[in-house]
Structure 1
Amino acid sequence: MGDIGRSTSELLERNKEPSHLTQYIAAISVITMEQNNWFSSTFNLGALIGGLLGGMCVNTLGRRGTMLASVLPFLGSWMIIAFAQNFAMLVCGRVLAGLCAGVTCIAVPTYIGEFASPDIRGTLGTGFQLMVVVGLEYAYVFGAVMTTWRGMALVCAIPPVIYLFLVFFTKESPTYLLSKGKDKEAKEALQYFRGKHYDVEPEMQLMRKTQEEARQNTVSLSDLKKPYILKPLLISCTLMVFQQLSGVNAVLFNLSLIFEEAGSGLPDDVSSIIVGLVQVVVTAISGILMDKAGRKVLLIISAAAMIVSLVALDVYFYEKFLNEERAVETLSWLPLTCLIIFITAFSIGFGPIPWLMMGELFSLNVRGPASSLATMVNWTMAFLVTLLFQPLQEAIGPYGIYWLFAGFCAISLLFCILVVPETKGKTLQEITRHFGGPVTTEDATKKQEELSRF
């Protein structure tokens, strides 16, 4: 999402408005590198606040209600940017856009996780990340053809309108409706999602039992130490941290350099569009694989492939540092190859899966606040990485930055192998039971029967 701001900030730097326009427009026609860093990173700061707000909203306004409530502020953020009279207004617009994005990143995965059936929940959950990369590609394409950043901001105001139209005609989450005592509406909503001829009564019975258990097991801050809450919370937050420390920003920020090293001669805008298209295609493929290969397997493959590509990039830039002529002559093919492998690996695993699993791991009684905390961790890391990336790269060099992120990917690989559970094909109730969470009497009886067979 932050790369939408990157397209806007690039236009800010090369603004083509006539010099005879009013003084206040001229004053913000070009921003400094430091201002550009803040313009990009404050989106993540706003999303951090939105993560906290979203956790409260999904339990008060509902999942669908929260999504609808975010639309007008989203539109307002782009209007503030489009008609900004100074840099402070630009930053305010970015913070507000980030806040709405943070809210959306809680509401949408939670909503999908609750209405999707177990056999297709992975595919539908990946749709969230797919729409994110489609949005990035949208920004890349229009960023290449727009001549002013004001026009770019207005173009970015179109997707929230489409979002409003699509969400308006959907039903609220059956789980949320049931939690508010709206049994009839919950059943109608579940029937809407399952189809006219599907018998939803057995699923409704299970949902009612889960709701009853959730009411009997309300939690406070001190209850976070309970294993069935703490374990999935730590797993989700750690996946969010590794997503941001995977090196995706290092690669995307150096797109133009990588394409240049490969001798492509493509303009920066075109290279961004190509990479965005790769992300869209691979994320769509990952949606198909998610309920076949499983989350854990794809995370392991993703981390391993990112390690290989980042180490190879480091080898190239280190060789170039030692002997530029020899590196360009013998390894010019390597940067672009590594870029394709890295983007493919990220898009198939660490891009979509942390968001998908956030909607799966938490039991009903802690789903709102736990998802809020995981989202805040993600955006905090995104803010820090975006703000500190350029100074860090200048301090340790291009090859140093790739070694650093390759190390983080190696740690994430071990974490996925040793800690992350497989949630493919499991109901939300089964996942809760896996962590030792509250189970219904019927679940406990089944578990006892299973144990008695051994």
Structure 2
Amino acid sequence: MAGPNLPKNVVLIQYFLAFSGHLGAFIMAAVWSFSSTALPSLRVDDQMGPQVTQFVEDWIASVTFLAGAAGSFACGYLAQRFGLKRSLQFIAVPLLIGWILVAAAQNVSMLMTGRLITGFCVAGVGVSCNIVAELAHKSIRGRLNIGFDLMFCFGVLFIYVVGTFFSWRTQAASCAGVTLIWFVLLFVIPESPRSLYERGAPEKARQALAWAQRLDDPKDVDMSEYETTESLEEKGAPTGTNFWEQVFTLDVWKPIIIVVALQFFLQMCGVVPIVCYAVDVFKSAGGHTVHENLYMIIFGAVNLGATFVACLCVDKAGRRLLMMGSEASLTLTLLILGVFLYLRDSVGVPALQSWEWFPCVCLVLYITGYSFGVGPIPWVISGEILHHSAKGFSNGVVIVLTRIFGFLAMFYFKSAINVMGQWGVYWFFAVVCFLGLLFSYFFLPETKGLKLEQIEMSMKDGWLQHNRPPLVNMDPEGREYEPVENGPKNVSDSNI
């Protein structure tokens, strides 16, 4: 599990860093998937049930995405203005309040207010990927940032299990408890070193890196990457200029476009409505009423297990290979599922009526393929390629568009089924996944094994990753070196 030559205490502290930062993804998953088990519970609630119409259900499920679109700019501003970790601390408090409102709701208005607040706040949790990317050793950076999606999967499974056995109020109360734990852990981990350095606190940045590298003396930290402002300016990087001059440059927008495209394919591959309407999806796909929650828990467990495997593979197989394999498997699975549902429900093939297990198996295979690449890789890439000079702004743009995509996928899912049929909706998702496969082949950068500075310079050069020459040379023991006439010369095994 450890990278080459990494002491055990460094590996452990960096895993703790990832857990503490990415616990926000657990809460985001709980916010998004809450409706999957809460809606069936709300329908039979003596107090709330009569107030919950189909229109209200659609808004309970999708309002968090709309609120997230609005919250993205606010969270982006907080990250740019106060620092990445500080922005997480700012959103944790109202997030806790939002969960309490949901748990204590006496009417739909109170419930919707809590959902709005939680949706608004979780728009900012993605910056933990940037914090982890800056502090993690490059040999384990990929798996640590897949930890974001791993925690997301934990959150989904948590909601599925708790929602199967407890009421919607208990679900919300338990999520409030997790939010409180996250808020406390954020005081333990350091701030983003880039945020500190750019705010005129190089010593604090050095201390943050020393914490992550388990160095007793901060003076032993290699700060060379943070002291290259002049060389970056010579290469055209947007440093030393005002904020708006920085953000309106190709260097900033090129990685934003790549990450937004990845998030589009993530949101529009169908996973959002499938996760958020899990009980209804499995029921309509053919699961017995008594088994729909069991299918849902299996679905969440497979999602978690496959993401864990991806976590082990990402720093060996690379980002592009996992993403392309994932998109290909989703395309095939969704096509097959669509054909089956068309033959069963539209054509009415008698032999298929007893195969109610088949669509459920397809959905499990679907989430397996999703968890290997389409789910985690966009978060890994986001933490690695967004330009350091405008990460708050970049994250804001990415997240607001992500939430809009998610809202559209959620809000119109059931309406699309009514118009196109289940098979038509799944075929639409298959087309999106195929386009994602093409995008990954032609435009997705490979960042495996590269320092953040190397990634940034390569983005500036406009590489197409499958054709780029190797930027990093490694000896048989996994140490980086620069080729010279007399053989390899070891260079700093820098953390970044």
Shorter-chain TM-score range:
0.7 to 0.9
Question: Which residue does 1:118 correspond to in 2?
Answer: 138
Relative to structure 1, the CA distance from residue 111 to residue 319 in structure 2 (aligned partners, 3 Å threshold; closer, same or farther) is same
- Matching of residue 133 in structure 1 with residue 156 in structure 2: no
Matched, 1:6 2:36: yes
Change (3 A) 1:211 1:348: farther
SS at match of 1:245: helix
Aligned to 1:187: 206
Distance 1:175 1:226, change over 3 A: closer
Cα-to-partner distance string for 1:413-432 (whole Å, 9 max, x where unaligned)? 10000111101111111111
1:350 offset after TM fit, Å?
1.0
Tell me: CA distance 1:290–1:238, structure 2 relative to 1, closer, same or farther (3 Å): same
CA contact (8 A) 1:210 1:429 kept: no
Please report the TM-score for the alignment, with normalisation by the length of structure 2: 0.81
1:86-140 per-residue CA deviation (whole Å, 9 max, x = no partner) reads 22221111110011110112x2112112111211111110111111111111111
Per the TM alignment, residue 451 of structure 1 is displaced from its structure 2 partner at its CA by: 13
Q: Structure 1 367/179 Cα, relative in aligned 2: closer, same or farther at 3 Å?
A: same
Q: What's the counterpart of residue 302 of structure 1?
A: 326
SS at match of 2:222: helix
Distance 2:288 2:217 in 1: 54
1:435 equivalent in structure 2: 459
Tell me if the contact between 1:363 and 1:428 (Cα under 8 Å) persists in the aligned partners.
Answer: no
1:260, CA displacement in angstroms? 7.5
Counterpart CA distance in 2 for 1:50 and 1:200 is 39
Partner-residue secondary structure (3-state), 2:223 = helix
**2:256 match:** 233
Query: Is the CA contact (8 Å cut-off) linking 1:8 and 1:153 kept in structure 2?
Result: no
Select the residue among 394, 414, 419 that pairs with 2:443: 419
1:278-317 mapped onto 2 (5 Å cutoff): 278-317=302-341
* 8 Å contact kept, 1:123–1:287: yes
* One-letter amino acid of the structure 2 residue matched with residue 227 of structure 1: L
**Offset of 1:211 from its aligned partner?**
9.1
The count of residues paired between Structure 1 and Structure 2 equals 432
Aligned partners of 2:323 and 2:377 also within 8 Å = yes
Structure 1 Cα separation of the partners of residues 220 and 315 of structure 2: 25
* Shift in alpha-carbon separation, 1:219–1:121, aligned structure 2, 3 A: farther
In structure 2, relative to structure 1, the CA distance for the partners of 1:29 and 1:150 (3 Å cut) is farther
2:395 corresponds to: 371
Runs (4+) of structure 1 moved beyond 4 Å?
A: 27-30, 197-202, 210-215, 219-225, 254-266, 450-453
The residue that corresponds to 1:81 in the other structure is: 102
Counterpart in the other structure of 1:20: none
Residues in 1 aligned to 2:220 and 2:243: alpha-carbon distance in whole angstroms: 32
Does the Cα contact within 8 Å between 2:101 and 2:114 map onto a contact in 1?
yes
Residue 399 of structure 1 is aligned with which of 418, 423, 429?
423
Query: Is the 8 Å Cα contact of residues 62 and 410 (structure 2) preserved in structure 1?
Result: yes
Contact 1:250–1:401 (8 Å) recurs in 2 = no
Map of 2:193 onto structure 1: 174
- Using the size of structure 1 for normalisation, the TM-score is 0.88
- Asked if 1:154 is matched to 2:173, the reply is yes
1:257–1:115 distance in 2 versus 1, CA, 3 Å: closer
Q: What is the percent sequence identity of the aligned residues?
A: 27
Decide whether the 8 Å contact of 1:48 with 1:102 is kept in 2. Answer: yes
1:245 maps to which residue?
A: 268
CA deviation profile, 1:383-442 (whole Å, cap 9, x unmatched): 11111111111111011111111011111110000111101111111111112279xxxx
The answer for unaligned runs of 5 or more in structure 1 is 18-25, 439-445
State the distance in 2 between where 1:296 and 1:43 align. Answer: 31
Residue of structure 1 equivalent to 2:432 = 408
Q: Deviations over 1:138-182 (max 9, x none)?
A: 1111111113x3233212211101212222211222222211222
Q: Which moved more, 1:340-349 or 1:225-234?
A: 225-234
Structure with the higher fraction of residues in helix conformation? 1
Q: Distance in 2 between matches of 1:176 and 1:349?
A: 29
C-alpha separation in 2, matches of 1:284 and 1:312: 26
